[in-house]
Amino acid sequence: MTSLLLFYILDLAGTFAFAFSGAVAARNRGLDVFGIFVVAFLVACGGGVLRDVCIGAVPPAGLSDWRYLAISSVAAVMAMYSRIVRERLEAPIVLFDSLGLGLFAVTGAQKAMIYGLTSEGAVILGVLTAVGGGIARDVLLNRVPAILKGQIYALAALAAALIEVVGHRASWPADRRAMAALATCFVLRFLAVRYDWHLPRFVTPPDDEDPRK
Amino acid sequence: MTSLLLFYILDLAGTFAFAFSGAVAARNRGLDVFGIFVVAFLVACGGGVLRDVCIGAVPPAGLSDWRYLAISSVAAVMAMYSRIVRERLEAPIVLFDSLGLGLFAVTGAQKAMIYGLTSEGAVILGVLTAVGGGIARDVLLNRVPAILKGQIYALAALAAALIEVVGHRASWPADRRAMAALATCFVLRFLAVRYDWHLPRFVTPPDDEDPRK
Amino acid sequence: MTSLLLFYILDLAGTFAFAFSGAVAARNRGLDVFGIFVVAFLVACGGGVLRDVCIGAVPPAGLSDWRYLAISSVAAVMAMYSRIVRERLEAPIVLFDSLGLGLFAVTGAQKAMIYGLTSEGAVILGVLTAVGGGIARDVLLNRVPAILKGQIYALAALAAALIEVVGHRASWPADRRAMAALATCFVLRFLAVRYDWHLPRFVTPPDDEDPRK
């Protein structure tokens, strides 16, 4: 029960964090009020919608549960109107974003296995659930997806999805494997931000952008 | 009967207007003959295909009804070969584009409700049907979607989808609510173009492009 | 039997060629190790996943067959680590890419017909299967899709899909029409590369990029 409640809170907090970061990026890129709502919703729900379409779980949860739309809209409004709010929220957003990342990877992989996907398919869809919205955001904002350019971000989601799927196949208790996956993703992401870890790249293009913008 | 015929004509005229605008944009961006056909078809049918995939109405109507392909192809040819045609068609295209926008939002929301989506899901999919093709066009042409950057365009589609869904839940007669939605969308769009209304933005990026190009 | 084996080998070789070209492009664009794997997999499987989602064949084959993931990963590793490998593979990759292009167009159109699509829908989905991954690659790498900008590439896929669908409706033997489609696509693509054929464009944008990069 406790863990169900925890996951529920993390799901809402992660959705908020994803939507907020999308709204800030859209705002800074010069999108209008409507565009900011669209990108906030897309980052929060885009990965899950892609997953649901791929496994045939239609209509996708992101389109049929009003809470995701409501949370995205609140996050968009908060990101739009107040510089103080944006600054105050910076640290908690990084925190909830990391927690949301792990949770989305775990729940995405779980749902894919429930719908009968193979293990490797479930891992791919777990990662897609977690990072699909962020990739869609960067595609709409017309830039190479930041998370494919050196950050330890998609890799942390991959770790979480892998642990969930391997744990499921090995019949670990559901709670324990989800907790292990969440913790691994969070610690990996935390250490990467704290010690400025990056994945290797072979070429640095001249038009390289700051992924934060 | 009359309204069915009217909707049928508007559907074809709107498809033509969407395809034509896509073809002109693709042509001006340096795409080849094949690319112009692709973008014309994508703008005309992309939003509907996304909607159908999300509600599980496969194969999507845009892929199984040859008329959409035929109309898109005619629009592409007309956009390619004659400057005179492009100039003569400029005013009627804006007109039919606005009518198509409202109609696609209404029929998109209707189809989503038929397939059992919630009210908010139906509104989202109505808007997606109307503006999804235009967003896909700008993603392919490698720029930030014009309709998310200040134009009163997606907002007019949102108004139409909202009226259709609210009217449906309130059991208004089908004809009357569709007409109200179409008229609202058209008037809103007309006034926005006429008086140069824009949605507020918070930042104007230096690389801002003319959305017409 | 022989042709089944041939198609099987071509499918794997084509997947490798698509993934390898995607990995090289991602590497040159400054993506990290993880991003290179993602783009390799996307180019190899993206078109097929889009097709499967459109015809309701979920979960898509690209996500449920581990061999595609394995081949993409091997191609990504080979593209990453050795300049000698990249140079040695250049000529065979162009060869297998052309063969894969025709085969994907043929199998894509076949699968669409099996799932009940109309002839024109099957042709569109055949082309989408063959070129969808390459378009997704260019969208992620933030540039206008190279194959829509003058190369005889999508057109060769279109020829293959058309021959397959027309041949199917005309009840030609399955083997013979697939062979005719493959050969046409390959010869068209070979001649286009050999004699530097291009589709006409109407405008050459100033920011034109080399599609190879």
ipTM, 2 dp:
0.87
Q: What is the CA radius of gyration of chain A?
A: 17
Counting as contact any 3 or more CB pairs under 8 A, the partners of A are B, C
Looking at residue C184, its pLDDT comes to: 95
Q: Amino acid letter at C39?
A: V
Asked if A115 and C59 come within 8 Å (Cβ–Cβ), the reply is yes
pLDDT, tens only, A12-29: 888 999 999 899 999 989
pLDDT confidence of A205, banded at 50, 70, 90? low
With beta carbons under 8 A apart, name residues in chain A contacting B150: 32
Asked if C32 and A148 come within 8 Å (Cβ–Cβ), the reply is yes
Residue A179 confidence (pLDDT) above 80:
yes
Looking at residue C53, its pLDDT comes to: 95
Looking at residue C206, its pLDDT comes to: 56
* Domain presence at residue C138: yes
Which neighbouring-strand residues pair with B198?
B151
Looking at residue A212, its pLDDT comes to: 41
* Domain presence at residue A39: yes
Burial class (CB in 10 A: 0-12, 13-18, 19+), A1: exposed
Distance from CA of C82 to the nearest CA of B (A): 31
Q: Average of pLDDT values for A99-108?
A: 92
Looking at residue A213, its pLDDT comes to: 41
Q: A153-162, C5-14, C60-69, C185-194: which range is least confident on average? A: C5-14
* Domain presence at residue C210: no
Looking at residue C122, its pLDDT comes to: 96
Q: Amino acid letter at C61?
A: A
Residue A211 confidence (pLDDT) above 60:
no
Q: Which residue has the higher pLDDT, B211 or A138?
A: A138
* Domain presence at residue A206: no
CA distance A142 to B172: 42
Q: Which of C144, C189, C207 to mutate to test the interface with B (most CBs of B within 10 A)?
A: C144
Query: Rounded to an integer, what is the distance from CA C128 to the centroid of its chain?
Result: 9
* Domain presence at residue B24: yes
Chain C residue closest to A50 (CA)?
A: C53
* Helix-helix angle C66-81:C2-28, to 10 degrees: 50
Location of structure tokens 């173009």: B193
B210 membership: H or E segment, kind and range: none
* Domain presence at residue C23: yes
- Spans of chain B, pLDDT less than 50: 1, 210-213
Looking at residue C83, its pLDDT comes to: 80
The count of structural domains within chain C is: 1
Distance from CA of B90 to the nearest CA of A (A): 26
* Domain presence at residue A24: yes
> Which residues 6+ apart lie within 8 Å of B158 measured at CB?
A34, B105, B123, B127
* Domain presence at residue C72: yes
Chain A residue closest to C31 (CA)?
A: A149
Q: Average of pLDDT values for A141-156?
A: 89
Looking at residue B53, its pLDDT comes to: 95
CB-closest option in A121, A143, A204 to C63: A121
In which domain, by residue range, is A165 found? 2-194
| Average pLDDT over all residues of chain A | 88
